[in-house]
Amino acid sequence: MAKQPNILFLMTDQQRFDTIRALGNPIIQTPALDRLVHEGTSFTSAYCPSPVCVASRCSFLLGQWPHETGCTTNSAMPQDRPSVMEILNEVGYQTHGIGKMHFTPQGRKMWGYETRDFSEEGSGPDDYTETLVENGYDHIIAPHGERSEYYYIPQQSQVPERLHHTQWVGDRTLEFLSNRDTDRPFLCWSSFIKPHPPFESPVPWNRLYRPVEMPLPYLPEDYEHLYTYWNRHQNRYKYRDQGRDMNLLRTTRAAYYAAISFIDYQIGRVLEYLENVGELDNTLIIFTSDHGELLGDYDCYGKRSFLDAAARIPLLVRYPERFSANNQCDVPTSLVDVLPTSLCAAGVSPSSNHSGLDLADIATGNAEREAIIGQLADQNRGLYMYMTQEYKYIYSAADRKEWLFRRLPGQLDDRSIAGNHGFGGILNDYRNRLINWFKEDGYDIPLDGNKWREYAPPYENDNPDAEQLYQDGRSASDRLPPGYVPQIDPAKRRS
């Protein structure tokens, strides 16, 4: 058997597909990602299996669709299935994980890793926050930015560049590569928390872009007709449903771009190291993200949507042995394809339980990919997608409504053609294809025979201040300093 390659996963959190300069964004600075584009294959129709962190990462980890894992939202992952790390560790790979994994509910589960540098979105304690304490920053209680009502307010980092989490992931990656067991191939998964909100970067990265440079959001005619229950819920949840401020939005986009460029700098450091030690061409490098970010498009924010801004992701692969340089492949792909791609590169055959395809075979036309699917939640909040190179079909159980989009190169989703009689046959075909896919897999939760099951719609609160996000304590007493007693001016006390 040929020498097994090293495998390096580089993952960001909540990065849109259209944030790479070499793939058409004229504003953003991404020289390291541009290098991967020029020296590898870019999968330009890559989508997340589920537009939310845990479910998408679960499918990445196990190589199965959300309805197969049973993890369809930020809920518990199945604990009894082998991960890509476990499989490769069993055939001799040294396995190491760095940064955000979002393993749920066992956040510190090793899942095939021999070693891990622990760090998640919270305030710790973990390996990253220990680094802050060791450097005299133990007073920082929100090291990744203030959340809750500040979630979409751009912020300057509370820590310097040398101690920021993005820098920490880059440093720990280089530390692992410098001290690894050179008698074995490695699998290293380096996972950045950013550009997930809050959008914050340290000086000087927070000054890299100015709001006046930023593109305005995509607001096609009658965009509200594209909303699902999840769009309305998430805008409320993220404090973004009570008006639009274009200057704030452009500032937010500048902060989002800055976080990506800071990550790109770390990736550049890693590529340079691998090149200097002669391991770059012997390393399968896969760069991707777990889902996208609406970022004001359609006047919406966050993920939880199968509109392209939220569900379409970057997917770049560099490994000269199997992937052509400067190649772009528009065949639909998914994060479920990463596991079989990694196993095939290592000379290991994927099992029948793995649903994805080898990306190398897709790029060369040796594997036929008819469609990909996606899912968020189930029952009365279920949101489902079926997509080919020509069309994308979406069904929302909460709204009892379906959408059909023509897929046009370089364009975001615009007007749904689901109600156009000229496309009625295609709409029926795509609906039936997805329903039959689920039926063949024995997944009947969203189905009633040969049609979608009708559920009572979820309750939507009409109070504009209801159901908003709190991740820093739910009551005032939780947030007050110890021993603090608020004083109330008697003159202002209501009788």
Q: Which CATH class is domain 6-371?
A: alpha beta
CB atoms within 10 A of CB 126: 17
221 DSSP assignment: T
pLDDT string in tens for the chain (495-residue length): 468 999 999 999 999 999 999 999 999 999 999 999 999 999 999 999 999 999 999 999 999 999 999 999 999 999 999 999 999 999 999 999 999 999 999 999 999 999 999 999 987 799 999 999 999 999 999 999 999 999 999 999 999 999 999 999 999 999 999 999 999 999 999 999 999 999 999 999 999 999 999 999 999 999 999 999 999 999 999 999 999 999 999 999 999 999 999 999 999 999 999 999 999 999 999 999 999 999 999 999 999 999 999 999 999 999 999 999 999 999 999 999 999 999 999 999 999 999 999 999 999 999 999 999 999 999 999 999 999 999 999 999 999 999 999 998 878 998 999 989 999 999 999 999 999 999 999 999 999 999 999 999 999 888 989 989 888 765 555 555 666 666 655 555 444
Dihedral pair phi/psi, residue 229, rounded to 5°: -50, -40
Secondary structure (3-state) at 228: coil
Token readout for 51 is 């537009």
Token readout for 10 is 């580089």
Q: Among all chains, which residue has been given the structure tokens 């939310």?
A: 52
Which pLDDT score, from 0 to 100, does residue 63 have? 97
CB atoms within 10 A of CB 1: 5
What are the sequence ranges of the domains in the chain?
Answer: 6-371
Give the bridge partners for 405, in sequence order.
392
Q: What is the pLDDT of residues 192-204, one digit of tens each?
A: 999 999 999 999 9
> What number of CA atoms fall less than 13 Å from residue 407's CA on the CB side?
20
Which pLDDT score, from 0 to 100, does residue 485 have? 62
Taking the chain, what is the end-to-end CA distance rounded to the nearest angstrom?
A: 84
C-alpha span between 233 and 381 (Å, rounded):
11
Token readout for 8 is 């390096």
C-alpha span between 79 and 394 (Å, rounded):
30
Contact in structure between 232 and 136 (CB atoms under 8 Å): no
Q: What is the pLDDT of residues 5-28, one digit of tens each?
A: 999 999 999 999 999 999 999 999
User: What are the residues whose beta carbons fall under 8 Å from the beta carbon of 487, sequence distance 6 or more?
Assistant: none
- 183 alpha carbon, distance to own chain's centre: 33
Dihedral pair phi/psi, residue 467, rounded to 5°: 60, 30
312 DSSP assignment: B
C-alpha span between 59 and 307 (Å, rounded):
19
Query: In the 3-class helix/strand/coil scheme, how is 234-272 assigned residue by residue?
Result: HHHHCCCCCCCCHHHHHHHHHHHHHHHHHHHHHHHHHHH
Give the bridge partners for 384, in sequence order.
375, 395
